[in-house]
Amino acid sequence: MIETAYRVSPLRATDPERLGDYLLVGRLGRGGMGVVYLAESDDGSYVAVKLIHPDLTTDPEFASRFRGEVERARQVPSFCTAEFFHADLDHDPPYLVVEYIDGPSLDEVIAERGPMRGGALQSLAVGVATALTGIHGAGIIHRDLKPDNVLLALGSPKVIDFGIARSFETTSRHTRTDVMVGTVAYMAPERFSGEKTTPVTAAADVFAWGCVIAFAGTGKTPFEGDSPSATAGRILTQPPQLDGLPEFLRPAVSAALAKDPASRPTAPELLAILLGSQPGTLTPSPTPPPATPAERPVRSARRKRVALVALAVLPVLAAAIAIGWNAIPHDAPSAQRPTSSSAAAPPPTRMVAAQTSAPERTPSPTAAPRSARPSSPPTVADKPSRPTPSPTGRGLVNDAGRNLALDKFATASTVEGHPWPAGDAVDGDPTTRWASLFSDPQWLAVDLGKQWQIHKVVLHWEMAFATAYRVEVSTDGQRWTTVYRTESGKGGIAQIDTDGAVGRHVRVYCTERVGPYGYSLYEIEVR
């Protein structure tokens, strides 16, 4: 039986029924690399199957990197992460199979019970540092450590979704910088550098560890801002806010959150600090931690001794962390998880979503019902009305004409509710959408990962479209140049020529809408 069946969403009509020996049951999530499914094996046990996006398989660099990461994933100890079961690298597209961890995420636990305290918090800190030690020991950088990726299984915390993310952003010869992997509130300062020469190393995971533990102990991230850009600015320039974090964790967390990656402890050194065998203040290393085993610099004798001691106690820590998340003391009232009953939820059955339009939002009590999306929305090819000059400079050329916004990082001024996040406007699914609150102005922005020559932006509006809006391009996400403006938007599909404007960020800024609802955008394409 599965306690966390509430995480599973229905399969879509385009999803496969089986992958190898595994029957797909439902969707667990979707990201820049592909789709993660819950599946049932022949013996009746449940596993997580990660199917890679077909578009990525044509890239030789990705294929080489993916194979290397799968091999390293086999070496990560199963006590600290989802156990690796199988991978079919010759399947089109390839997929891998790992353990399905039937436990709540740290994010869910904090939302329901409030910040952790005492032994439970200390166990979490030691457990996640132990997991990073095992992951880094296999030559893998996680790159997206956050509360959603820490599952509180029985026995010890487990860190999931490691390593493979490195296929998008790596410091080895297989370099791709067109995708920024990570969640802003947990990203190290060096992750925001636009320079290809800036290494992203295991020290970035240590920084994320500090943010995760601060969140677990206080209920908020240490650089929390009112927008992703404000949060990024605080990460780059401000000290962490650790008010409310217990004193016994502050030395380790403060050391992990150092701006300079060379000043942060390694994962084994974190364990030494947490276990009291090393002070929290470290002497900066002359070089940052390595990105790959082949490029690993020689460490000092002190660091080698710490690593050996920490690795020797890993099996002991696995048992010591068995306090279990059910014993977590909390300050906030406990809220019941949305399971189907108070007992364990029954095993989910295969669920296939019909090819229909996305569900309509619930209007405000005074609003009139809105009609459904038309089956064939009209195509609108408005010409810009005297746009301001477009940005100039050199940018990458999109010779293949692919959609540069697909599965990239998207943010929005507001979101009406959980079913309509900004990411739905870049997921390639024509039945999902971003929807804003019922006010003006509103905006949606996409980070393309690096500077591109942009020739066309295609907007797929739902019935609640903008009648007045502008399309803007930016090289840094701060200063925006208008490349298109209209006050007579007609909805449907708007194809906008941008004359090769160069930028990394694209934003749709809306100032007037049709009807009483918020703005609603199925997809934004950037080509």
Spatial separation of the C-alpha atoms in residues 83 and 158, rounded to whole Å: 10
Q: Which of 519, 152, 84, 110 is nearest to 326 (CA)?
A: 152
- Residue 417 pLDDT level (bands cut at 50, 70, 90): low
Q: Where are the beta strands (DSSP E) in 125-253?
A: 150-152, 157-159
Residue with tokens 């020559």: 453
**What is the average per-residue pLDDT within 283-308?**
40
* Alpha carbons 482 and 387: distance in angstroms, whole number: 6
Q: Residue 332 above 50 pLDDT?
A: no
Averaged over 97-119, what is the pLDDT?
90
Do residues 213 and 280 make contact, with C-beta atoms less than 8 angstroms apart? no
The catalytic residue positions are 144
On whether the CB atoms of residues 443 and 511 are closer than 8 A, the answer is no
Residue bearing tokens 């509180």: 152
Q: 241 near 222, Cβ under 8 Å?
A: yes
pTM: 0.53
pLDDT value at 288 more than 80: no
pLDDT recorded at residue 348: 40
Give residue 501's pLDDT.
Answer: 93
Residue 378 has pLDDT above 50, yes or no: no
Q: What is the pLDDT of residue 440?
A: 85
Cis amide leading into 315 (omega within 30): no
DSSP designation for 108 = H
State percent of the chain over pLDDT 70: 71
**Nearest-CA neighbor of 444 among 467, 415, 464?**
415
Q: Which two tokens mark 142? A: 């996680």
Q: pLDDT, tens digit, for every residue of 9-33? A: 899 998 999 999 999 999 988 766 7
Structure tokens at 485: 């403006």
What integer is the mean pLDDT of 444-463? 93
* C-alpha–C-alpha distance, residues 395 and 373, integer Å: 37
Q: What share of the chain is helix, strand, coil (3-state, %, to 5)?
A: 25, 25, 50
- Residue 442 pairs with which residues in a beta bridge? 510
Q: Annotated binding residues for ATP, as ranges? A: 50
Q: Which residue has the higher pLDDT, 312 or 449?
A: 449
pLDDT digits (tens, 9 = 90+) for 250-261: 999 999 999 999
Tens digit of pLDDT for each residue in 185-225? Answer: 999 999 887 666 677 889 999 999 999 999 999 999 999 98
Contact 69/166 with Cβ under 8 angstroms?
A: yes
Indicate if the pLDDT at residue 164 is higher than 80: no
C-alpha span between 480 and 478 (Å, rounded)? 6
Binding-site entries = 50
What is d(CA 28, CA 7) in angstroms, rounded to the nearest whole number?
6
DSSP reduced 3-state for 293: helix
Token pair 């998340």: residue = 325
DSSP 334-346: P-----SSSSPPP
Q: Give the integer Cα–Cα distance in Å for 415 and 146.
A: 22
pLDDT (0 to 100) of residue 390:
39
Please report which helix (H) or strand (E) contains residue 482, including its range: strand 481-486
Across 106-128, average pLDDT: 92
Q: What is the mean pLDDT of residues 395-409?
A: 90
Cβ atoms within 10 Å of 433's Cβ, excluding its own? 25
The confidence band for 6, taking pLDDT boundaries of 50, 70 and 90, is low
Predicted confidence (pLDDT) per residue in 50-94, tens digit: 898 887 877 777 777 777 767 777 778 887 788 889 999 889 899
| Maximum Cα interatomic distance, the chain, rounded to a whole number of Å | 72
Measured CA to CA, the distance from residue 270 to residue 135 in angstroms comes to: 14
The answer to whether residue 177 scores a pLDDT higher than 60 is no
Give the contacts of 431 (CB within 8 A, at least 6 positions apart): 355, 356, 357, 358, 522
Decide: 121 and 217 in contact? Cβ < 8 Å: yes
130: phi > 0 → left, psi -120 to 50 → alpha, else beta; which?
alpha
pLDDT of residue 483: 93
Amino acid residing at 178: D
pLDDT at 294: 38
